[in-house]
Chains A and B, each alone.
Chain A
């Protein structure tokens, strides 16, 4: 009998403790802190994108220096997953189960994100602003997953539209990276061309490991393409433009948001990038068409503040002020806005409710709006749908070509 008593007592204490822990506060929120997690590759071939996580880190430190949010400091936990989904899952589990994260922000890459999406959603953990424009986040929509990155489909749509309608070009080609990102570029371009009554000149796949671009350029040349949309990484853009120049093939190059960092692109292409048109999701103010925007001299209020109080004070000394770094702020701003609106009483449900109330929120990125949750409506969690176009100038600045443009959502499989 005594034995049973011991068992019962143990179980009861455990239950009480468990309840007590749950009752006192939401996971990851204490009186003085809110714990927020993030992953991002700091090593491996995808390491250049890891700057997103470091940007978010500087942004949170800036907020903390300004006094935090309603008296609470943001504690940012980010780890290196080397773009390996197995490691992403390991890191997320460890931080979530050992330390307890209130929310996850950003997180570079479609594959790493997909490996942890179910894990986070089953546990009803908030995840804001995955750093990859994928339809996987929206189909089906998830109550706790808020997208901010505009889909690559939209980049391709606007670039194609601009090439056809404004530049009056008829032969459009696409070079796409052989993954979700590149395939979306191809799809978006084809859809827009169909609307315009045109055919794609040629679509060329590119493997991430490819370094020799001559076959691509030869095929592009044979197709007589006048404009080429590049849905590849910055390194491949540099290689393609260099090889193109050497083979005297110089069409209108156009690139997605991932290559929107003009100072970097100008440096690695040794100036060839000048004249390239790229899509942008924010970080600049496109209202005055024809204006010159210099990324190194930000004008948007949010960007100016982040540059002076975040980047200059909290970034490592060799950190480059680039769009990847700055986007680390852009992706997470909706969450911070919701945290500010929700007040002292922070729970996930309340923050979700506040996020759903965000309408036409505009800070560093384009207009962000969410609506009430409906699993069958991807648009309720899409956040931003706007992009604009800029042209790279020889001194690394950008000329604004279009104002914000609201892109169309194409469900997958259409």
Chain B
């Protein structure tokens, strides 16, 4: 039983970082209707920037991390404004390829600037301490990730419910033309959505960085976040979070009881099963196409 609880808890811990990545993907999918393959690298570059600030320039944490988040926001805005928006008569596949291209550029840039070696990132709390409840362990870093994820989800909820920008975003996503007619600057809204998404991803990146920093560190979380978002339905924020936690927990239970080797692919099996039952994910309303 203890083992089972431990696995579930570990699953929730790892699910939190997937959830943040998933949230980022859903925000962008809702804004631009493109599965965003640059999500991971949008977080990677800011993480390395903060690594540089902390180690080369000895900037204190309370400046470095906020600065990184602002940089992430601007990076997200730039990618939308400077590149994606410039696409002529875009189709979904074309946009996917553009995000893949951006992904390569950012990854290449990071590896070029910082080299391929693994590094350790300084962080205010140790990633090796844990809180022990009975026989169950949860590391303080995981705890922090969980709390941060919950705070971000809550603030997201409040943002979309009560802030003007949030409501405008929802309106834009529901019906762009109608929103524009109501005086919403839909293009700006889309840009801001990218910025916020990038910031959320960057938080996830910063929380993963204390364990190890390397250029290819964001691939797996990005894929898992994407999977989680798809399980939840690409257009639902609570869905993405829920899906990410499911992926995290099932992964751990599968790894613990069935096979470690196939642990990393079990997420995709869940997806196929879930999607066969509910083709648009668990939380999204199934959109019925008309002729």
Binding site for B on A (CB under 8 A): 42-45, 47-48, 50, 178, 204-207, 209-212, 214-216, 218-219, 222, 234-235, 238-239, 242-243, 245-248, 264, 267-270, 272, 318, 320
Please name 10 further chain A to chain B contacts, defined as beta carbons within 8 Å, in addition to the given A222-B3, A247-B139, A270-B128, sorted by A numbering: A48-B118, A212-B14, A215-B256, A219-B256, A235-B118, A238-B212, A242-B127, A246-B139, A248-B132, A268-B212
Q: How many residues of B contact A (CB 8 A)?
A: 40
Residue from B14, B108, B217, B255 having most chain A Cβ neighbours under 10 A: B255
B118–A215 touching, CB < 8 Å: no
- Whether, in the assembled complex, B120 has its beta carbon less than 8 Å from a beta carbon of chain A, the answer is yes
- In the complex formed, the residue of A with least CB distance to B122 is A270
* Whole-angstrom distance between the Cβ of B102 and the nearest chain A Cβ: 17
Contacts of B116 in A (CB 8 A): 42-43, 47-48, 50
Contact A214 B211, CB 8 Å, known A47-B111, A267-B120? no
Cβ contact of B118, chosen from A216, A234, A243, cutoff 8 A: A234
Stretch binding the partner chain, chosen from B28-36, B182-190, B257-265: B257-265
Task: Given A235-B118, A242-B211, A267-B120, decide whether A43 and B216 contact each other with a Cβ distance below 8 A.
Answer: no
Q: Which of B205-234 contact A (CB under 8 A)?
A: 208, 211-212, 214-217, 219-221
Which residues of B are found within 8 Å of A43, using beta-carbon distances?
A: 108, 111, 116
Q: Indicate whether B81 reaches chain A with its CB closer than 8 angstroms.
A: no
The answer for the CA separation of A264 and B120 in the assembled complex, in Å, is: 10
Per-position 1/0 for B250-283, Cβ under 8 A of A:
0110011000110110000000000000000000
How many angstroms from the CA of A384 to the CA of B139 in the assembled complex?
Answer: 43
Q: Do B120 and A270 have beta carbons less than 8 Å apart?
A: yes
> Which of B129, B252, B261 is close to A214, meaning CB atoms less than 8 Å apart?
B252
Q: How far is the CB of A43 from chain B (nearest CB, A)?
A: 7
Q: Which of B117, B139, B212, B256 contacts A320 (CB 8 A)?
A: B117
Determine whether the beta carbon of A214 is less than 8 Å from that of B14.
Answer: yes
* Complex interface bits, B122-157 against A, C-beta within 8 A gives 1, otherwise 0: 000001111010000101010000000000000000
Question: A248 near B137 (CB under 8 angstroms)?
Answer: yes
Contact B212 A209 (CB under 8 A): no
Q: Are B220 and A211 in touch, CB under 8 angstroms?
A: yes
Asked whether any CB of chain A lies closer than 8 Å to the CB of B115, the reply is: yes
- Complex: how many Å from CA A45 to CA B216? 6
Take A210-B264, A212-B14 as given contacts and tell me if A245 and B251 are in contact as well, using a CB distance cutoff of 8 Å.
no
B3 to A245, Cβ gap below 8 A?
no
Q: Is the CB of B3 within 8 A of A218?
A: yes
Q: How far is the CA of A264 from the CA of B115 in the complex (A)?
A: 14
- Across the interface, do B137 and A247 meet the contact criterion of CB distance under 8 Å? yes
| Chain B residues with CB below 8 A from A247, complex form | 130, 137, 139
In the complex, chain B residues whose CB is within 8 Å of the CB of A45: 216
Residues of chain A within 8 A of B217, CB atoms compared: 211
B208 CB to nearest chain A CB (Å): 8
B161 in the interface, Cβ–Cβ < 8 Å? no
Q: What is the minimal beta-carbon distance from A76 to any residue of chain B, in angstroms?
A: 20
A218 to B3, CA, bound (A): 8
Question: Taking the nearest CB of chain B, how far is it from the CB of A8, in angstroms?
Answer: 54
B128 close to A242 (CB less than 8 A): yes
Q: Are A218 and B6 in contact (CB under 8 A)?
A: yes
- Cα separation A216 to B13 with both chains bound (whole Å): 15
- Name the A residues within 8 Å of B13 (CB-CB): 214
CA distance in complex: A239, B213 (Å): 11
Q: B residues within 8 A CB of A205?
A: 260-261
Beta-carbon contacts under 8 Å, B168-203 to A: none
Tell me if A178 and B261 are in contact (CB < 8 A). yes
B103: shortest Cβ distance to chain A, in Å?
14
CA distance A43 to B216 in the complex (A): 11
Decide yes or no whether B286 CB sits under 8 A from chain A: no
Identity of the chain A residue whose Cβ is nearest the Cβ of B138 in the assembled complex: A246
Whole-angstrom distance between the Cβ of B181 and the nearest chain A Cβ: 46
Docked CA distance A204–B10 (Å): 18
A349 CB to nearest B CB, Å: 39
CB distance from A118 to the nearest CB of B (A): 29
Contact between B137 and A246, CB atoms less than 8 A apart:
yes
Alpha-carbon gap, A358 to B101, bound state (A): 51
Q: Is residue B25 within 8 Å, beta carbon to beta carbon, of the partner chain? A: no
Q: A207–B261 contact, CB under 8 A?
A: yes
Q: List the 7 closest A-B pairs by CB distance, nearest first.
A: A47-B116, A215-B255, A246-B139, A245-B128, A214-B10, A246-B130, A45-B216
B119 at the interface (CB under 8 A from A): yes
Q: Which residues of A contact B23 (CB under 8 A)?
A: none
Contact call A219/B260, Cβ cutoff below 8 A: yes
Q: Please determine whether A207 and B264 come into contact, CB atoms closer than 8 angstroms.
A: yes
Cross-chain contact B137 with A209 (CB below 8 angstroms): no
In the bound assembly, the distance between CA atoms of A14 and B13 in angstroms comes to 71
